[in-house]
Chains A and B, each alone.
Chain A
């Protein structure tokens, strides 16, 4: 969800759509689950209400990352990048190694 809000503030349904796109269709957040997560992220100070607008006669709230949320996402991205680099390095090493080698 933090990734879904990384580039722009979004309202509830847009977050659901973004998460679906980012996960390549594997994760479809339901409305109750979305607001459960938003409640917690708001309480933890990782997300804030960015604004309110009336669309089609209905009040919509948009949510955005706070500085703390951005820092957390940056740190998590760095950690994942290191893990991916390490996995690629090892896989590359395994491909170069002759079959049957144990080390």
Chain B
């Protein structure tokens, strides 16, 4: 085999994306590996190799690689944001259950309208269900792709159906932050072990399903309570996330970066609540009291544990 490998133009440009210090240390080595790995590759396979290398370089440049504290925080935040995104979708779409039932009953008489309603509903719900199933199976990259599809469908929905109104800015801010967290988190650091999978599934179902059930019953039967459900939303979701945060913080050897990520992962949910559903002060108070409370309680537990551990043993 010929040992002399020349790095193609594109490869040299990609190596140029690395931070100078890292490039100095590993640039030549990476360039040689890249040249060998891409030998004979064309089309999509070559494009994927290039994107993968560019992603590694940019993560290092932005200091969000899996070896950076910011990368570790993002890896903690992304699954939480995704789980709450699923919960939010379950809740949001529960309000339209009645429309879907009506559309199904009119398939024979008004097929175009029924198909439009069901298609829009499926476009908004299915990506999130797929995202949850993939995350529950430990497949983070497909879960991430499905979540981004869900966010694109939501953006189109808000843009086309409701148009630009000031209440929608919170929604768009939530979509942008959620997409950023999910896409920027280093995939190799997201917890896809048993605990991580249970957390995502539990949080999505725990945060979304009870309120979705309430919203569905509101939408179909209990019309009088419809205003109470949105008010419950921030409290319930933050309470479920706070319980998870407290569980992490009170562990014997807590991963503080991951714990910070859990708190960060709830912020998209907060943004969404602010202007649209409930008074800003209500959602913000729920966030501060519940998430802040979990942090404070976790801190107290750590201090108590440290005090007990350093207490001198009683002389015999």
Contacts and interface: CB of A to CB of B under 8 A. Distances in A.
B4 interface: yes
Interface in A51-85: 55-61
28 contacts: A11-B29, A12-B29, A12-B30, A12-B33, A13-B32, A16-B37, A30-B49, A31-B33, A31-B34, A31-B49, A31-B52, A31-B53, A32-B52, A32-B53, A32-B55, A33-B52, A35-B26, A36-B66, A36-B186, A40-B67, A55-B32, A56-B5, A57-B4, A58-B5, A58-B28, A59-B32, A60-B28, A61-B26
Given A33-B52, A40-B67, A57-B4, 20 more contacts: A11-B29, A12-B29, A16-B33, A30-B49, A30-B52, A31-B30, A32-B49, A32-B55, A32-B56, A32-B57, A33-B188, A35-B30, A35-B56, A36-B59, A39-B65, A55-B32, A56-B4, A56-B5, A58-B5, A61-B29
A34 interface: yes
> Does more than half of chain B's interface fall in helix, strand or loop, or is it mixed?
helix
Q: Which of A12, A31, A33 has the most CB of B within 10 A?
A: A31
A30 B29 contact: no
Size category, B interface: 20 to 34
Q: Which of A32, A37, A39, A40 has the most CB of B within 10 A?
A: A32
B306 interface: no
Size category, A interface: 20 to 34
Contacts of B189: 40
B31 interface: yes
A23 interface: no
Nearest to A34: B33
B31 A58 contact: yes
A16 B37 CA distance: 8
B72 to A, nearest CB: 10
Contact of A11 (B33, B48, B65, B66): B33
Given A30-B52, A40-B188, A13 B36 contact: yes
Contacts of B49: 30-32
A101 B171 CA distance: 56
A53 to B, nearest CB: 11
A64 to B, nearest CB: 15
A31 B66 contact: no
Interface string A1-37: 0000000000111001000000000000011111111
Interface in B1-49: 2-5, 26, 28-34, 36-38, 48-49
A99 interface: no
A43 B68 CA distance: 10
B54 interface: yes
A97 to B, nearest CB: 29
Contacts of B5: 56, 58
Nearest to A38: B26
A59 B29 contact: yes
